[in-house]
Amino acid sequence: MGKKKHKVAIIGLGLIGGSLGLALRGARLGEIEVVGYDKEPGVRAKARRLGAVDKEASSVEEAVQGAGLVVVATPITAIPEVLEAAAPYLREDVVVTDTASTKAMVMDWAKRLLPPSVNFVGGHPMAGKELQGIEHAEAGLFRERAYCICPDPDCDPTAVGVVMSMAQTVGARPVFLDPVEHDVYVAAVSHIPLLASVAVFRMAWQSQAWADMAPLASSGFRDVTRLASGDPHMSHDICLTNRQAILHWLERLQGEISHLRHLVADGGEELFKLFAIIQRERDNWLKQEITCRGGVDLQWPSFKDTLADFLLGRAVRERMQRLGEMMGQTLKERSAREEVLARLFVQRLEEDLRFRFEQKEGEGGK
């Protein structure tokens, strides 16, 4: 009689969920069974044909029942609905994680909607394409990419180890961040580039000369505007759930554009100096092996063994203790200032989303 398989449920089988399934199945873990659910039956069937999942589920409830790990890879504003649907069917020792591009609001949703017995570990793989959907999924999408892990302070450390080992199994580099810190940082290096891409394309496209300019647009224009081809729903959700951080960095970007405008108008040596400095610094950045504060480089057990250890009650606490020592802090340590900032930031985000959801409910009641 074969060993019992440990079930991993992936909710949402688009580019990220599908790629995660392909990477986990490609690792040939043997005792891990990947079960997938997507609200679109055609997507579920395609994921099965492409080898992203071992089995399809016809509902969230069916997907999560008996699962040791649940990965929510849906659009951000769909996450509350998924958590609510899943909550009554989750086993007590389950680990739940997500792949959303923003974290503070997601962590708050999980705290309110999931039972206290559930271990929620926020996650965000820093990987993607402008092309969305299961048909563009690939097993190597996460290779050598940062995988942000934002644990709840009350989460079982061994549950954090499950998500960490999953990230390493798919080829990513786990990086530990506070959720609010995560949202501020990714706003600068991910969300602002998206909006800048949209702005540059819109600037040219709205020109009366666009028909004549378009044939001239080559690789430079394509590179800068690539992100504008991303999923509009995802872009919209990012702005809704990370509004304050994005507004902060937009103001910084406006300042940089104003500075450039001044230098171009002046036409002096300072313009050349700026180009030379930025070229040097960007080239240095490209040459470096990217390391992150909070990044880890431990010889960690395989995802299969870590998940089995957690579900069977055998701890990997010694390694988590060593991880804490490497990070210079325990997962529960935060300064009083960080706590205050986190609460204020989440409160602002919650107010933004509550207003939107109340609007939608009002429209639905008409």
Neighbours of 191 (CB within 10 A): 22
Give residue 71's pLDDT: 98
Query: Going by C-beta distance under 8 Å and a sequence separation of 6 or more, which residues neighbour residue 323?
Result: 164, 296, 298
Q: How far is CA 228 from the centre of its chain?
A: 18
Helix (H) / strand (E) containing 258 = helix 243-266
**Which residue has 């300064």 as its token pair?**
335
Give 33's strand partners: 7
Coil, strand or helix at 268: coil
Distance, CA of 14 to CA of 299 (rounded, Å): 31
Per-residue DSSP letters for 20-38?
HHHHHHHTT-SSEEEEEE-
**Which portions of the chain are predicted below pLDDT 70?**
1-4, 289-366
Amino acid making up residue 341: L
Distance, CA of 39 to CA of 60 (rounded, Å): 9
Task: Tell me how long the chain is.
Answer: 366
CA distances from residue 59 to 8, 31, 100, 304, 355 in whole angstroms, order as listed: 15, 23, 20, 25, 29
Cβ atoms of residues 122 and 178 within 8 Å: no
Give residue 289's pLDDT: 64
258-290 tens-digit pLDDT: 999 999 999 889 999 999 999 999 999 888 765
Give residue 36's pLDDT: 96
Query: Going by C-beta distance under 8 Å and a sequence separation of 6 or more, which residues neighbour residue 221?
Result: 200, 204
DSSP-derived pairing of the beta strands 119-125 and 95-98: parallel
The Cβ-side half-sphere exposure at 188, using a 13 Å CA radius, reads 7
Radius of gyration of the chain (CA): 22
Give residue 106's pLDDT: 96
